[in-house]
């Protein structure tokens, strides 16, 4: 059986000047959580949006392979994509404050997705919405369903977005920093809910997060992105135990005890900044900040395998 | 919500009071009313008689408050020329003007909203540029000139539509189109801008991520937000159209309030002129209130 989501050599650009994602590959299996980490601007959100084909105007994507449950997403037109979106593949955006329509109630926005894809009655959809709101820890869900987004705090809106994405029992959930506005208890409750869904329904998840504590707790696999590339990818335990890429090592060094990291602590504090990547950029994107860099790093860098399922992009030997 | 209404009512009251004062002052700035009513051949005695009969010999402030007091009870005085109550005159003529204004607005909305949506969806294409060009040209075209152009083409040469009178609905087509033309550019541009902004927003991305149909994305989610400023401007445009009907009713010989105003100015029938200005202003103020209310209905964030 093919994997739930397979992405091979994904490239995303905006206009002709910037390449936001350069040849990213990743796989999400049923029931597993694949975490995407990396510092701000490295292309995590853009990767997620490109998979859903929801890039902003002017953005374009290219890939050798982009398949969902064995179906080629690159061949689907708008209609075909619409049948999957919100239904079998759902996404939670990074911007909870602006992602709900200000003109409609929470209830109306939550129910329409179930009515559209499953032909549910308004009543059944409302019941389902209230149930999910309760499960993401919202008290008085009946009241919230009748409210408009501007009446809700950021944390509530974020939970509404999570509940809305779960309305149709998706197979794949792409969640872009879904718990940033939530306190630790609520965050734990939501992670538990998602874990339950993974166990019961085989939900596969692509989870973007800055929080290595969350990664250590929930990830099956981790891909580390830097300047538009996945520089290292491995099973979670393997990555934490034996990081190969200097950037990953830098990231992990900033987190002494995985799982005990403070909330919202920035991911790593490696000196320097991400270079601007224009089309035609060659060599390792990390070389200006890497303590191991030498002249050969300015040329194409090999992809190496440290162990089965543990790949990294660096000239250094395993 | 109550607060919102009270604020709007106070503003409406202030605007109405200002307009009443202006209408009163302006009719009196055009010279001595008794003299102009009496006409060129009148003797000094005639003029004095008229001044007394119409109460123009009283102090100006007394006249003003007398008029305001009566207007507040619905009494707009008597017409000098028609020898009937001004309120009756206006009530008789109002249906024509309102029909014309509403016809204009409906035509304008039916043209500009679809045009604005299409232009927004095809932003940057030649269709979009063509729409913007036409809107620009439309704005530059004087309405009486467009009126005459239509009259010559459809009335005289093709003979499809009557060129004057108020006999049937057909009489309202051409003047309605002319009035609509004055509102179409602004409404189209506003719809287009609102739709472009909405389509680029995060909540439309969410609607797409939910797999909603294109119709639902465009019409339910984007248009609902883009329509908020359009509604406000549409109501204000209806006010302009009612004012603009003074010219159009003249061109197409439609006997509405605009035509009445025209006649009364020519005849120095100042109670009528004053009253028409007041009535149009009150309607205008009422329309802006309607716009605000509809805004509040469409935009939940305004319902405090
Ligand atoms: N609409 C856009 N137009 C042009 N460039 C864009 C656009 N969206 C993203 N980019 C560029 O793509 C790159 C990757 O952005 P992305 O949003 O994926 O970062 P990220 O990894 O999600 O960061 P963060 O952790 O801050 O969310 C950035 O350099 C950004 O400037
Ligand atoms: S390729 Fe060179 S610069 Fe890049 S991470 Fe490896 S050693 Fe550092
Ligand atoms: Mg992001």
Arithmetic mean of pLDDT, B64-75: 81
Residue A132, pLDDT > 70, answer: yes
Which residue, by CA, sits nearest to atom 6 of ligand 2?
A314
pLDDT of B6 above 50: yes
pTM beyond 0.90: no
CA A231 to centroid of ligand 1, rounded, Å: 17
pLDDT tens track for A205-236: 999 998 898 999 999 999 999 999 999 999 99
Q: Of A224-238, B68-82, B120-134, B250-264, where does the model show the most confidence?
A: A224-238
Q: What is the mean pLDDT of residues B2-19?
A: 80
Q: Is A293 in the pocket of ligand 2 (CB under 6 A)?
A: yes
Higher pLDDT among residues A14 and B203, named by residue: B203
Average pLDDT over residues A290-303: 88
Average pLDDT (A6-14) is 93
DSSP strands (E only) in chain A: 5-14, 18-28, 33-37, 59-62, 65-68, 71-72, 89-92, 172-176, 204-208, 221-226, 229-235, 303-307, 310-313
Q: Which of A98, A113, A148 sits opposite B201 (nearest CB)?
A: A98
Find the mean pLDDT for residues A283-305.
Answer: 88
Which ligand neighbours the alpha carbon of A299 most closely? 2
Mutate to test the interface with B, among A82, A98, A116, A168 (most CBs of B within 10 A): A82
pLDDT, averaged across chain B: 84
A251-255, A298-302, B34-38, B292-296, range with greatest mean pLDDT: A298-302
Instruction: Report the C-alpha gap between B103 and B180 in whole angstroms.
Output: 8
What's the whole-number mean pLDDT along residues A163-179? Answer: 95
- Cα A16–chain centre separation: 25
Q: Is the pLDDT of residue A251 over 60?
A: yes
Residues B106-116 pLDDT 10s:
999 999 999 99
How many C-beta atoms lie closer than 10 Å to residue A254's C-beta?
14
What residues contact residue A25 under an 8 Å CB cut-off, 6+ apart? A7, A8, A9, A10, A230
More confident residue, A276 or B290: B290
Eight-state DSSP code of residue A297:
G
Instruction: Inform me whether the pLDDT recorded for A266 exceeds 60.
Output: no
Handedness of CA A62, A68, A70, A75 (dihedral sign): negative
Is residue A269 very low, low, confident or very high in pLDDT (cuts 50, 70, 90)?
low
- Is the distance from CB of A61 to CB of A12 less than 8 angstroms? yes
Amino acid A245: pLDDT: 94
pLDDT at res. B1: 60
**Using 50, 70 and 90 to split pLDDT, how confident is the model at B31?**
low
Whether B121 contacts chain A with CB within 8 A: no
The pLDDT, as a whole number, for residue B149 is: 80
Residue B17 has pLDDT above 90, yes or no: no
Asked which of B99-108, B167-176, B182-191 is least confident by mean pLDDT, the reply is: B167-176
Could you tell me the pLDDT band of residue A261, with boundaries at 50, 70 and 90? very low
ipTM of the predicted structure?
0.91
Please state, in angstroms and rounded to a whole number, the distance separating the CA atoms of residues B275 and B27: 11
**CA–CA gap between residue B141 and residue A65 (Å, rounded):** 56
Which atom of ligand 2 is the closest one to the Cα of A285?
A: 4
Integer Cα distance of B126 and B113 in angstroms:
18
Confidence check: pLDDT of B280 > 70: yes
Half-sphere exposure of B261 (CA within 13 A, CB side): 24
Inter-residue contact A306 to A317 (CB < 8 Å): no
A170: nearest CA partner in chain B: B210
pLDDT at residue A42 tops 80: yes
């Amino acid at each position: 059986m093919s994997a739930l989501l397979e992405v091979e050599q994904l490239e995303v650009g905006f206009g002709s000047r910037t390449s936001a994602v350069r040849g990213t590959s990743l796989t999400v299996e049923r029931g597993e959580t694949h975490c995407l980490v990396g510092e701000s601007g490295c292309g995590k959100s853009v990767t997620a949006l490109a998979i859903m084909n929801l890039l902003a105007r002017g953005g374009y994507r290219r890939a050798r392979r982009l398949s969902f449950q064995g179906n080629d997403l690159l061949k689907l037109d708008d209609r075909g994509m619409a049948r999957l979106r919100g239904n079998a593949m759902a996404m939670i955006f990074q911007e909870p404050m602006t992602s709900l329509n200000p003109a409609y109630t929470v209830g109306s926005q939550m129910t329409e997705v179930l009515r559209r894809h499953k032909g549910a009655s308004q009543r059944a959809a409302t019941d389902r919405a209230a149930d999910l709101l309760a499960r993401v820890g919202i008290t008085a869900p009946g009241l919230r369903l009748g409210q408009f987004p501007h009446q809700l705090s950021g944390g509530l809106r974020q939970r509404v977005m999570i509940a809305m994405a779960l309305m149709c029992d998706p197979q794949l959930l792409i969640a872009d920093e879904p718990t940033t506005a939530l306190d630790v208890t609520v965050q734990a409750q939501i992670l538990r809910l998602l874990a339950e869904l993974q166990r019961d329904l085989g939900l596969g998840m692509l989870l973007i997060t800055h929080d290595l504590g969350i990664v250590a707790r929930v990830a099956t696999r981790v891909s580390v992105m830097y300047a538009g590339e996945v520089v290292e990818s491995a099973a979670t335990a393997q990555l934490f135990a034996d990081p190969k890429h200097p950037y990953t090592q830098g990231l992990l060094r900033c987190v002494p005890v995985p799982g005990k990291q403070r909330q919202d602590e920035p991911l790593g504090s490696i000196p320097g900044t991400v270079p601007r990547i224009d089309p035609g950029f060659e060599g390792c994107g990390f070389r200006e900040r890497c303590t191991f860099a030498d002249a050969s790093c300015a040329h194409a860098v090999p992809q190496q395998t440290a162990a089965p399922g543990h790949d990294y992009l660096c000239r250094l030997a395993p | 919500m109550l607060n919102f209404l009270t604020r709007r009512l106070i503003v409406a009251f202030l605007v109405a009071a200002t307009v009443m004062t202006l209408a009163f002052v302006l009719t009196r700035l055009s010279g001595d009313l008794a003299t102009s009513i009496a006409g060129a051949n009148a003797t000094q005695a005639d003029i004095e008689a008229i001044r007394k009969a119409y109460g123009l010999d009283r102090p100006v402030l007394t006249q003003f408050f007398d008029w305001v007091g009566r207007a507040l009870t619905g009494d707009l005085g008597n017409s000098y020329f028609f020898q009937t109550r001004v309120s009756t005159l206006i009530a008789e003529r109002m249906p024509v003007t309102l029909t014309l204004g509403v016809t204009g607005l409906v035509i304008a909305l039916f043209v500009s909203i679809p045009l604005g949506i299409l232009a927004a969806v095809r932003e940057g294409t030649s269709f979009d540029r063509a729409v913007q060009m036409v809107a620009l040209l439309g704005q530059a075209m004087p309405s009486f000139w467009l009126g005459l152009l239509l009259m010559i083409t459809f009335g005289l040469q093709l003979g499809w539509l009557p060129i004057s009178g108020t006999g049937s609905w057909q009489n309202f087509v051409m003047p309605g189109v002319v009035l609509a033309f004055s509102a179409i550019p602004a409404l189209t541009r506003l719809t287009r801008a609102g739709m472009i902004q909405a389509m680029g927003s995060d909540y439309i991305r969410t609607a797409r991520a939910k797999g909603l149909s294109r119709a639902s994305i465009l019409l339910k989610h984007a248009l609902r937000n883009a329509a908020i400023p359009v509604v406000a401007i549409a109501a204000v445009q209806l006010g302009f159209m009612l004012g603009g009907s003074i010219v159009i009713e003249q061109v197409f010989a439609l006997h509405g309030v605009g035509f009445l105003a025209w006649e009364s100015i020519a005849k120095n029938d100042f109670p009528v002129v004053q009253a028409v200005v007041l009535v149009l202003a009150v309607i205008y103020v009422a329309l802006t209130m309607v716009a605000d209310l509809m805004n509040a209905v469409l935009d939940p964030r305004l319902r405090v």
